Amino acid sequence: MVKDFNDFQALGKDQMDVTMKSLGALSNGVQAIAVELADYSKKTFEDGTAAVEKLFGAKSLDKAIEVQSDYFKAAYEGFVSQTAKIGELYTDLAKEAYKPYEKYLGKTVAAK
């Protein structure tokens, strides 16, 4: 009975350790994503402000259309690039959060 209880207790401790490592990786990943999104938001705001200033400074309709077109093109390219970057961060987050479980499950299966 004592051996079974000790095994059960060790199993619980191992599971807690794995969960804590996974939550640590999850926390770091979410923080990296939040920082990336904040930086992107700041950059898009600054770019938008600069575009509006250029737009107000345009002397002709053609120049205003050119400024607007350039801004929309740059904004779209930035959005696509940022979306890819965020997708990579989410992929890395999932991999890192799963890693502790992968090691634990491999150890558990090998013990049987």
User: pLDDT by residue (tens digit) across 29-77?
Assistant: 999 999 999 999 999 999 999 999 999 999 999 999 999 999 999 999 9
Is the backbone of residue 60 left (phi > 0), alpha (psi -120 to 50) or beta? beta
* Mean pLDDT, residues 87-102: 90
Q: Exposed e or buried b for every residue in 34-48, given b needs 16+ CB within 10 A?
A: eeeeeebeeeeeeee
Look at residue 95 and tell me if it is in a domain. yes
Q: Which residues contact 70 (CB under 8 A, 6 or more apart)?
A: 51
Assigned domain for 11 exists: no
Joined together, the tokens standing for residue 12 give 């619980």
2 domain-assigned: no
Its pTM stands at 0.75
Does residue 71 sit within a domain? Answer: yes
- Whole-angstrom Cα distance, residue 67 to residue 71? 6
Q: How many domains does the chain have?
A: 1
**Any domain includes 94:** yes
DSSP code, position 109: H
Residue 10 lies in a domain: no
Name the percent of the chain lying above pLDDT 90.
61
- Asked whether residue 37 is domain-assigned, the answer is yes
Of residues 22 and 37, more confidence is placed in 37
Expressed as residue numbers, the domain containing 27 is: 19-106
Residue pair 67/51 in contact (Cβ under 8 Å)? The answer is yes
Report yes or no: 99 and 25 within 8 Å, Cβ to Cβ.
yes
* Token pair for 78: 């930035």
97 in a domain, yes or no? Answer: yes
